[in-house]
Structure 1
């Protein structure tokens, strides 16, 4: 199974593609889509869409896993992140890639076994699970890989399989 993870944003969108086979993870590729701060916001959204569509079209993953938005104290930032997340989801939808959402708590639990793990712990476990020499940079890229790992674990679980069968 090939899973494409996304850490949504509008300045930096982290992405990572992994394969998961026989309980082994392998990083297939990762990086970030970055936009310039003083660029018109609509142009930033277009750039994010175009870049992610091209990457997804090349990768053709079995699933896209993305972090579910949670309430932020800065509502203006939350709205912009939601818009960037929307164009990301549109790119996956246009390519008919199934989309799955996970909360930060679910990602931390899947990667470290502890839902209150700190960011450095999640990043280090992501590095270890993927057998990488160093933690990918920027942090958004490591987060995207962690989200992909979360889906790979959830997709193979008995609970997830039961949910698929029942259409939940």
Structure 2
């Protein structure tokens, strides 16, 4: 599976493409950063990032796009910019019929380093080792993009098995509810059919008793 990882940002948007093989085997295809000037209009900056991301999608033809999930920060302006870039990445993927997966920073850190509290330096060091790169990707946004792609490759099989298990459990629960309702209807119908017969039998017995000689 080929995954395009995107670490969204207006000033620097990290982009990385990783191929997944058997087991946990992964290899780096390409990595880079889309940059926009901080003094440019927002619309122009978003267009600039969109053009680069779409070019990467068309060139490398990923099967899925992994994007960092926006989370609350103290800097609201930064969050807004990140969310806007995430939106244009998701839109570009949707236009090409590509599924989009969102992963939180802690999920990525845990998948790559084994700790959800790892810092950027640790993530960069580990992704460099995991992918067997000659040198660490720079800036950190590029390393984060590769980490997102690897995180998805390693988490997707487990997520798929969990989803299948949940679907199976839901199907079994549905069958159980249907059987329970059927049993309840059968019991109710049985009680209804026995009621009149019992009354008729009781009436007949009374009539016979009343006809006996004293």
> Aligning the two structures, in what range does the TM-score lie when normalised by the shorter sequence?
over 0.9
Cα distance between partner residues in 2 of 1:110 and 1:49: 28
Instruction: Specify the alignment match of 1:49 in structure 2.
Output: 50
Q: TM-score, with normalisation over the residues of structure 1?
A: 0.93
Q: Report the structure number with the largest CA radius of gyration.
A: 2
Give how far 1:160 is off.
2.8
Instruction: Specify the alignment match of 1:26 in structure 2.
Output: 27
Q: SS of the counterpart of 2:126?
A: helix
Q: Which runs of 4+ in 1 moved over 4 A?
A: none
Give how far 1:47 is off.
1.1
Give how far 1:86 is off.
0.9
Q: SS of the counterpart of 2:71?
A: coil
Number of paired residues? Answer: 166
Q: Which has the higher strand share?
A: 1
Q: SS of the counterpart of 2:40?
A: coil
Query: What per-residue deviation string (whole Å, max 9, x for no partner) do you get for residues 61-120 of structure 1?
Result: 111111000001011221122112211111111111110011111001100111111221
**Structure 1 residues not aligned, in runs of 5+:** none
Instruction: Specify the alignment match of 1:114 in structure 2.
Output: 115
For residues 107 and 84 of structure 1, do their structure 2 counterparts lie closer, same or farther at Cα, with a shift above 3 Å needed? same
Cα distance between partner residues in 2 of 1:120 and 1:50: 29
Instruction: Specify the alignment match of 2:133 in structure 1.
Output: 132
**Structure 2 residues not aligned, in runs of 5+:** 169-214
Q: SS of the counterpart of 1:70?
A: coil
Q: TM-score, with normalisation over the residues of structure 2?
A: 0.74
Tell me if the contact between 2:120 and 2:140 (Cα under 8 Å) persists in the aligned partners.
no
Equivalent residues in 2 for 1:131-150, closer than 5 Å: 131-150=132-151
For residues 75 and 164 of structure 1, do their structure 2 counterparts lie closer, same or farther at Cα, with a shift above 3 Å needed? farther
Q: SS of the counterpart of 1:156?
A: helix
Q: Which has the higher helix share?
A: 2
Q: SS of the counterpart of 1:18?
A: strand
Alpha-carbon RMSD across the aligned residues, in angstroms, is: 1.5
Using CA pairs under 8 Å that are at least 6 residues apart, name the structure with larger relative contact order, 1 or 2: 1
Tell me if the contact between 2:13 and 2:35 (Cα under 8 Å) persists in the aligned partners.
yes
Instruction: Specify the alignment match of 2:162 in structure 1.
Output: 162
1:70 aligns with 2:78: no
